[in-house]
A and B are shown apart, each in its own frame.
Chain A
Amino acid sequence: MPDAAKKTKVKAEARVRTGVHFMLGDHACAEGALAAGLDFFGGYPITPSTEIAEHIAVRLPDVGGRFVQMEDELASMAAIIGASAAGARTLTATSGPGFSLMMENIGLAAMMELPCVVANVQRASPSTGLPTMVGQSDILQARWGSHGDYGIIAYCPDSPQECFDLTVRAFNAADQYRVPVFIMMDEVVGHMTERVVIPPADELPVFERKGPKFPPGEQIFYSYAPDEDLVPPIAHAGDGYKVHMTGLTHDERGYPALNAVAHDKLVNRLVDKIRLNAADIEMYEEIDTDDADTVVVSFGCTARSAIQAVKEARQEGIKCGMIRLITIWPFPETRIRELIEAGNVKRFIVPEVNLGQLRREVERLTHLPVLRLNHAGGAMPTPNEILELIRS
């Protein structure tokens, strides 16, 4: 076991700052990572995510982990995948322009099935955009940004508390499904200071990566022979199983298999291991949807405005409800279909700080009107703007 991992066990208490805090969203994400057992952080400074890196630079070495400020985001992503191959729980933090650079190796992580977590504190985009101002601009990029088909998980916290909670969850999900997991924060949530309750260490959920079922040397280890959940057990560098991992299409041994049949089988499994486990992964919160004819679909900072608008509309007697997406990927489409099929819903409203990225997902599921309320970035929809649309 590497020294860093030994220290992790010894200093479990030092990692988890149990108690009630008044905490920045970015710092809550960092604390969530530390509490979840972060071993290795590789990152590159970028507004508005930098506070995550800075906080981890202070905290991580003291609890036996390694912080490396890399030369760019290409290297950051590659480094956290490499550390993951050696058994580390790994994180990087970035924003839109850095997220774009990470796409190359996010594809590698998906293909090699090496768990890792990326916190993307979204700002107004495209390109350099508005570096210090809010955006929810990378919603589709998170799902489709790297070339080809693959499955990922993306959480969307709406508060510093969720920045902590969902970061812990992200590490567990990454290990459980062997995928890159994204924490799709935004500048508002990342730069907001609120009450954050950190539970005792022994109350935090922990998922250990599935390892080989036999000692090294006894049999040939197949790095990509999946269990029933479609997720293969993993052996790490130094464990003695002599794994080979490649971004090329590969067989269950991990060896290149450059043919269409192997490719179809592999890529389908990469997608299916998330698609078929979606019911266990998806998280959402519903308010007053039972009899609602107008349902607001919201996520991240925008949900904070939406909830206010929905409450006020109810007070005015409007049958209005809300579904807040906590996972945006996999998109909780089963639940939204259920709402549609129940027959009460007459229309959806999707407020977003982009020009309609998540609205496309809702439109895909229904012929009902899906009203838009968008800011391109730099400002978020206000409760009044959403309320006016609900009244219309």
Chain B
Amino acid sequence: MSVTEQTIQPAANIHPIDNLLRADRLPHILCPGCGIGTVIHGYAHAIHASDLSEDQHVCVSGIGCSGRAAGYVNVDSYHATHGRALPFALGIAVHNPDLNVTVISGDGDLTAIGGNHLIHAARRNVNMNVICINNFNYGMTGGQVGPTTPIGAKGSTAPKGAVEHPFNLPYLAQATGAIFVARWTVLHVREFQDAVLRCMNKVGFCFIEVLAPCPTSFGRANKIGDGLHEMEIYRQRCRVENGATNIHELDIDLIDENKSITVGNFVDVDRKPFLV
């Protein structure tokens, strides 16, 4: 039987989200301890829980480790150029408003090279969900610092520690017009899934920052150890504050052990969406 004649065989006793992952692409390329798989898992669960059919979900990614997310979810999925996932997704969302478009990409992709697109997509209030996986560095290229690297944290392009002020992403998203803004970590599996589902049910630009370990690059450079160690940091230092009003103060300092990391669903408002 040639490849084109293969039929899709429904397997018995499959897990509810098995159909939402491209099993023929496994094993994935992600490192042990990486948080991106948990994000993909959460997105798949949210699709499963949503009222929409699988065919109405579309996933778009940019470039980088997180950019590979689109390649593992079994919905119509597009792996665009570096930084351009948002305008690519805009084209889909605007042409076919029946589709629920989710962008899963990394902090470097969405906020450095794609930063201009982020603020304008939020300003327009394009109907899409953005899941920004923040691992504080450029993982795929080997651990360079980026716009989310905390001051003092080390990377291969800042061997003595980052000196630039990092973005506070929820503050940026709120200021530029997002109607839903959350920050979670990959430790907060249920909260994250619920937040993604809430985004899918809202019409407009929704933004979730999800902190994820990158033990191979960021963890090793900053003596965080393995992925489990960073999860332990989340467990000890994260403070849930849904509806927090001081978003502008909620910078992340992963290095200073005395500082808490505020997570939660911060913003949930309504504003006229763009061309729906």
Contacts and interface: CB of A to CB of B under 8 A. Distances in A.
A8 B275 CA distance: 16
B95 A39 contact: yes
Contacts of B76: 85, 236-239, 241-244
A80 B120 CA distance: 16
A248 B79 contact: yes
Interface residues of B, number: 43
B79 A244 contact: yes
Chain A contact-residue range equals 35 or more
A192 interface: no
Contact of A83 (B3, B71, B91): B91
Nearest to A42: B91
Contacts, number: 163
Contacts of A79: 87-88, 90-91, 94
Contacts of A194: none
A78 B96 contact: no
B4 A237 contact: no
Contact of A244 (B71, B90, B91): B71
A84 B7 CA distance: 28
Nearest to B74: A242
Most buried by A among B3, B84, B120: B84
B92 interface: yes
Contacts of A246: 70-71, 78-79
A219 B4 CA distance: 8
A87 interface: yes
Interface stretch (B34-42, B55-63, B145-153, B192-200): B55-63
B30 to A, nearest CB: 14
A241 B55 CA distance: 8
A220 B87 CA distance: 28
Contacts of A86: 58, 91-92, 95-96, 99
Contact of A85 (B7, B25, B91): B91
A2 B95 CA distance: 7
A202 B24 CA distance: 46
Given A2-B97, A82-B60, A219 B6 contact: yes
A87 B96 contact: yes
Given A219-B4, A219-B6, A252-B3, A82 B88 contact: yes
A220 B8 CA distance: 7
Contacts of B60: 82
A71 interface: yes
Contact of B92 (A104, A237, A243): A237
Given A2-B96, A79-B88, A86-B91, A247 B81 contact: yes
A85 B58 CA distance: 11
Given A2-B97, A220-B8, A247-B79, A240 B55 contact: yes
B95 A87 contact: yes
Contacts of B89: 82
A65 to B, nearest CB: 9
A82 B6 contact: no
A127 to B, nearest CB: 21
A82 B87 contact: yes
Contact of A219 (B8, B81, B87, B97): B8
Nearest to B70: A244
Among A40, A71, A82, A253, which residue has the most Cβ atoms of chain B within 10 A?
A82
A238 B88 contact: no
A36 to B, nearest CB: 16
B77 interface: yes
Contacts of A87: 95-96
A163 interface: no
Interface in A53-72: 66, 68, 70-72
13 contacts: A79-B90, A82-B78, A82-B88, A86-B91, A86-B99, A108-B80, A220-B8, A238-B55, A238-B56, A245-B78, A246-B70, A247-B81, A253-B24
Interface of B: 3-8, 22, 24-25, 54-56, 58, 60, 70-71, 74-81, 83-84, 86-92, 94-99, 116-117, 120, 275
